């Protein structure tokens, strides 16, 4: 089967996924009734790609990545241009009656998360409405109301959250920022908390093998975050947030347009967590105190003659302090009856956590559209990152320094017609990482040069295929190839869609940065090298991902509904195994010897029950197994069963928004602890539990300003994992372990905030 897949992939070269924008043109009559407008001409600015609305006012036009400017022309109406930033949205173009038309208004018909029916890749887009549903303080918390991504605490002492996708941890998903590498190297541990929610314009989430244009590291999918763009963002956007733990945040986004060609934007964030709280009375802070300062400056330039540019930079400093503090010890001292290893013996030397990140970056994205050659363009992406991390866990320290340069050149064109498009290009990555932990000292410099090609073919609206191949030469791994294939077939009307995908991926295992949660323990780290010429003495991780998706759009009781089914398998050829089962006081790192795979099946159903009342339900089954030294076992801390229900309602006057989410988390296998003393043993499996999130938002508008207030609750049922820290009473003995976290740490969390937008 694999050989057949390789043969198919080798036949076709690849490029950017093929997409179409769909919408409807309407006219607002004097009596406020809406009427469909046929015969309206729509075309992308400076291109020959066009469409005409049909007798029902509906239109479909091929998306064009080189321009977001859609020109609208109709007899009896003044021509105008609108900006379309998201090709996955169904848009309504509202024409005001009469030839005195001064503007075209784009109204998105959205519930917050949009599924693409035209894209060969299974793509979900989370827009600003979706991000408003949760507290959404940063990227890691943006997925709380999404059934495809799990969000969990990484450990019981640092407050860090991590994600899982298709049954595997977040490092196997390619996480990018504006389609450039983001979550790589040192950022794997804390990078999800470095993108504030207010900065995010949208998140594109695709499952399975990604596009070869973006690299070779996507095992389970791609999560791309688009930040606010000075060309399209609000003039001013202010947000503040506070929760019952005392965490308070302040975000201010501002933009200024100097002229039609040049605009600048400033994104700022400050957050503080001043309160030391120990809700489970184990002597450790549940959430560290700390502060973060985060700034980004963005510039955009559009010459109007085909040349466009985006460039800018950012700086971040993030400090966290947790662990034991004297004022937390009083409540737990009475429980410390242990002898020399217990709290009474350790009060003079408390177990403290310190996390420090300093990061700065520069980037540029330039492009040129060949105005005399429709569908032809080229672009260059450049970025440089410097990240310095210094952490302490009790008596041990971890330090890391990363310097990364990235360049990616892309040329796009068409073959005769826009039904056949292609992309070719080349990339270069220079990644220097220097790390020190306990007695380990590792330094490496990865230099990777690559070339890629991607071809997209579209047969009407029924069938499209995207096939890609890239070849890279790595200074450690030599020459390797990355094939990818995505195919889509739709029945008439595009309401029934089938997709299949397949592809190969490769990555370097960053064993320290990806496992910082294990540093909050007394476990000995043992690295069993298989090739001393490789990073950490370990071979790269290589795997295949295969996927199938079925999506059906329908009407139930005259209201829109959909059902989607996902089946995905990730099969590792090589993997760096993190083994916590071989020995209770050790964690082993070694290359895979035997099978390792993850099978995921998910069904999702969404329905507008009545006007403005929407429900989304999902169930997912995950079977993830790894061949450890003790045999083939279910991967620890992964739920095999998870269910999800989200209900949202908006009042008719659009002033009140209500949203509630119920999550069911099935039991998880826990690393074995049966050789510990009885008081430090844990069960083989965690219990299943429920989690409830809810939010109420009030919106009002005054001229061009939009003001809203929101209040909400996380973990409304106040469920907490009992005794999340093994040997919390003796943090310096060999049994201490704060990494075995399977549920909420803090309990119920109330929050409130306000947003102010000036258009």
- What is the per-residue pLDDT across 663-680, written as a single tens digit (0 to 9) for each? 999 999 999 999 999 999
CA 251/CA 755 separation, integer angstroms:
9
Task: Label residue 337 by pLDDT band (50, 70, 90).
Answer: very low
Query: Quick one: pLDDT at residue 35?
Result: 65
pLDDT at 83 over 90: no
CA 580/CA 668 separation, integer angstroms:
15
Query: Quick one: pLDDT at residue 58?
Result: 78
| Percent of the chain surpassing pLDDT 90 | 67
CA 91/CA 22 separation, integer angstroms:
7
pLDDT at 104 over 50: no
pLDDT at 555 over 70: yes
pTM of the entire predicted model: 0.83
Mean pLDDT of 545-560: 94
CA 565/CA 549 separation, integer angstroms:
6
For residue 3, the surrounding DSSP H or E stretch is helix 2-11
| Structure tokens belonging to residue 32 | 């406020």
Task: Label residue 273 by pLDDT band (50, 70, 90).
Answer: very high
Phi-psi group of 131: left, alpha or beta (phi > 0 → left; psi -120 to 50 → alpha; rest → beta): alpha
Task: Label residue 272 by pLDDT band (50, 70, 90).
Answer: very high
pLDDT tens-place string over residues 439-492: 999 999 999 999 999 999 988 778 999 999 999 999 999 999 999 999 999 997
Query: Quick one: pLDDT at residue 340?
Result: 37
b/e burial code for range 677-690 (CB count within 10 A of at least 16 → b): eeebebeeebeebe
| Structure tokens belonging to residue 243 | 């929760």
> Residue 331, Cβ neighbours under 10 Å: how many?
13
- Domains of the chain with bracketed CATH: 20-110 (2.60.40.1120), 123-758 (2.40.170.20)
Which residues, including other chains, have CB under 8 Å from residue 478's CB and lie 6 or more apart?
Answer: none
b/e burial code for range 182-215 (CB count within 10 A of at least 16 → b): bbbbbbbbbbbbbbbbbbbbbbbbbbbbbbbbbb
Task: Label residue 98 by pLDDT band (50, 70, 90).
Answer: very low
> Residue 33, Cβ neighbours under 10 Å: how many?
9
Highest-pLDDT range among 125-139, 179-193, 430-444: 430-444
pLDDT tens-place string over residues 227-237: 999 988 889 99
For residue 627, the surrounding DSSP H or E stretch is strand 613-628
Query: Quick one: pLDDT at residue 31?
Result: 46
Query: Quick one: pLDDT at residue 343?
Result: 38
8 Å CB contact between 469 and 10: yes
* Nearest to 482, CA basis, from 2, 1, 6: 6
Determine whether 128 is exposed, middle or buried from the number of CB atoms within 10 Å of its CB (0-12, 13-18, 19+).
middle
8 Å CB contact between 28 and 14: no
pLDDT at 725 over 80: yes
Query: Quick one: pLDDT at residue 231?
Result: 85
| Structure tokens belonging to residue 269 | 């964030």
Determine whether 112 is exposed, middle or buried from the number of CB atoms within 10 Å of its CB (0-12, 13-18, 19+).
buried
pLDDT tens-place string over residues 600-653: 999 999 999 999 999 999 999 999 999 999 999 999 999 999 999 999 999 998
pLDDT tens-place string over residues 190-212: 999 999 999 998 899 999 988 99
8 Å CB contact between 32 and 26: no
What torsion, rounded to 10 degrees, do the Cα atoms 705, 225, 381, 374 define? -70
């009140």: which residue's tokens? 656
Which residues, including other chains, have CB under 8 Å from residue 359's CB and lie 6 or more apart?
Answer: 187, 194, 314, 315, 316, 317, 385, 386, 387, 388
Helices and strands: H and E segment counts in the chain = 5, 44
Mean pLDDT of 282-289: 92
β-partners of residue 51 are 42
Radius of gyration of the chain from Cα atoms?
A: 26
pLDDT at 348 over 70: no
Determine whether 258 is exposed, middle or buried from the number of CB atoms within 10 Å of its CB (0-12, 13-18, 19+).
exposed
* Nearest to 594, CA basis, from 554, 627, 624: 627
User: Phi/psi of residue 3, each to 5°?
Assistant: -65, -40
Cα angle: 185, vertex 191, 192; to 5 degrees = 135
> Residue 162, Cβ neighbours under 10 Å: how many?
23
- Computed over every residue of the chain, the mean pLDDT equals 88
* Nearest to 411, CA basis, from 400, 396, 422: 422
8 Å CB contact between 443 and 436: no
Mean pLDDT of 1-30: 54
Query: Quick one: pLDDT at residue 754?
Result: 93
* Nearest to 630, CA basis, from 586, 681, 598, 685: 586
Query: Quick one: pLDDT at residue 112?
Result: 67
Range scoring the smallest mean pLDDT among 70-84, 304-318, 373-387, 682-696: 70-84
More confident residue, 104 or 732: 732
pLDDT tens-place string over residues 301-314: 998 888 999 999 99
More confident residue, 113 or 294: 294
> Residue 733, Cβ neighbours under 10 Å: how many?
18
């549940």: which residue's tokens? 286
Which residues, including other chains, have CB under 8 Å from residue 549's CB and lie 6 or more apart?
Answer: 122, 207, 497, 498, 499, 500, 501, 564, 565, 566, 567
User: Phi/psi of residue 2, each to 5°?
Assistant: -65, -40
More confident residue, 206 or 22: 206
8 Å CB contact between 151 and 144: yes
Phi-psi group of 112: left, alpha or beta (phi > 0 → left; psi -120 to 50 → alpha; rest → beta): left
Which residues, including other chains, have CB under 8 Å from residue 660's CB and lie 6 or more apart?
Answer: 646, 647, 648, 692, 693, 694, 695
8 Å CB contact between 202 and 127: yes
8 Å CB contact between 201 and 725: no
pLDDT tens-place string over residues 492-523: 778 899 999 999 999 999 999 999 999 999 99
């Amino acid at each position: 089967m694999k050989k057949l897949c390789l043969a198919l992939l080798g036949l076709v070269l690849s490029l950017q996924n093929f997409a179409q924008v769909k919408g409807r043109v309407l006219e607002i009559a004097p009596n406020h009734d809406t009427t469909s407008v046929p015969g309206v001409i729509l075309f992308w600015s400076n291109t020959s790609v066009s469409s005409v609305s049909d007798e029902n006012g509906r239109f479909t036009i091929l998306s064009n990545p080189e321009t977001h400017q859609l020109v609208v022309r109709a007899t009896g109406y003044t021509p105008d241009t609108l900006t379309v930033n998201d090709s996955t949205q169904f848009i309504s173009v509202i024409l005001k009656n009469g030839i005195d038309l001064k503007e075209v208004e784009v109204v998105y018909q959205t519930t917050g998360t949009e599924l693409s029916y035209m894209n060969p890749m299974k793509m979900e887009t989370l827009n600003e409405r979706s991000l408003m549903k949760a507290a959404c303080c940063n990227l890691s918390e943006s997925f709380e109301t999404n059934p495809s991504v799990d969000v969990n605490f990484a450990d019981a002492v640092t407050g860090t959250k991590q994600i899982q996708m298709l049954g595997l941890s977040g490092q196997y998903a390619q996480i990018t920022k504006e389609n450039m590498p983001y979550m790589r190297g040192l950022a794997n541990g804390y990078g999800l908390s470095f993108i504030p929610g207010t900065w995010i314009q949208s998140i594109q989430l695709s499952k399975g093998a990604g596009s070869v244009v973006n690299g070779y590291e996507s095992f389970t999918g791609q999560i791309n975050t688009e930040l606010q763009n000075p060309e399209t963002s609000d003039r001013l956007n202010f947000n503040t947030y506070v929760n019952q733990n005392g965490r308070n945040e302040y975000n201010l986004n501002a933009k200024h347009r100097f002229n039609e060609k040049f605009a600048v934007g400033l994104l700022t964030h400050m957050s503080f967590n001043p309160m030391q709280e120990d809700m489970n009375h184990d002597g450790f802070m549940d959430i560290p105190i700390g502060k973060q300062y985060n700034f980004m400056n963005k510039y955009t330039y559009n010459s109007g003659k085909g040349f466009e540019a985006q460039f800018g930079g950012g700086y971040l400093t993030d400090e966290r302090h947790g662990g034991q503090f004297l004022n937390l010890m009083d409540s737990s001292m009475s429980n410390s009856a242990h002898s020399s290893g217990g709290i009474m013996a350790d009060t003079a030397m408390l177990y403290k956590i310190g996390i420090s990140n300093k990061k700065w970056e520069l980037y540029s994205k330039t492009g040129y559209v060949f105005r005399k050659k429709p569908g032809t363009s080229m672009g260059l992406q450049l970025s440089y990152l410097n990240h310095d991390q210094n952490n302490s866990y009790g008596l041990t320290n971890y330090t890391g320094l990363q310097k990364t340069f990235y360049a990616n050149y892309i040329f796009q064109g068409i073959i005769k017609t826009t039904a056949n498009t292609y992309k070719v290009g080349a990339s270069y990555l220079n990644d220097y990482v220097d790390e020190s932990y306990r007695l380990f000292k590792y330094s490496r410099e990865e230099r990777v040069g690559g070339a890629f090609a991607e071809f997209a073919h579209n047969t009407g609206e029924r069938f499209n295929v995207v096939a890609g191949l890239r070849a890279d030469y790595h200074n450690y791994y030599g020459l390797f190839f990355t094939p990818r294939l995505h195919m889509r077939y739709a029945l008439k009307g595009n309401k029934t869609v089938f997709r299949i995908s397949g592809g190969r991926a490769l990555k370097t295992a960053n064993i320290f940065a990806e496992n910082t949660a294990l540093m909050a323990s007394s476990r000995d780290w043992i690295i069993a090298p298989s090739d001393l010429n490789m990073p950490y003495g370990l071979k790269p991780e290589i795997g295949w991902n295969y996927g199938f998706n079925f999506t059906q759009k329908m009407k139930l009781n005259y209201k829109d509904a959909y059902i989607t089914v996902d089946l995905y398998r990730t099969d590792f050829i090589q993997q760096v195994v993190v083994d916590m089962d071989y020995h209770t006081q050790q964690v082993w790192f070694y290359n895979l010897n035997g099978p390792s795979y993850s099978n995921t099946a998910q069904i999702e159903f969404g329905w507008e029950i009545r006007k403005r009342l929407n429900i989304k339900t999902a169930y997912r089954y995950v079977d993830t197994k790894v061949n450890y030294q003790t045999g083939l076992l279910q991967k620890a801390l992964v739920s095999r069963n998870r269910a999800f229900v989200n209900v949202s309602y908006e009042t008719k006057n659009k002033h009140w928004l209500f949203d509630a989410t119920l999550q069911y988390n099935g039991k998880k296998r826990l690393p074995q602890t049966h050789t510990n003393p009885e008081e430090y043993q844990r069960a083989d499996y965690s219990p299943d539990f429920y989690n409830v999130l809810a939010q109420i938002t009030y919106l009002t508008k005054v001229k061009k300003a939009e003001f809203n207030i929101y209040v909400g609750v996380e973990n409304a049922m106040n469920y907490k994992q009992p005794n999340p820290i093994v040997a919390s009473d003796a943090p310096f003995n060999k049994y201490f372990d704060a990494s075995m976290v399977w549920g909420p740490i803090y309990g119920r969390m109330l929050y409130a905030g306000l947003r102010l937008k000036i258009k």
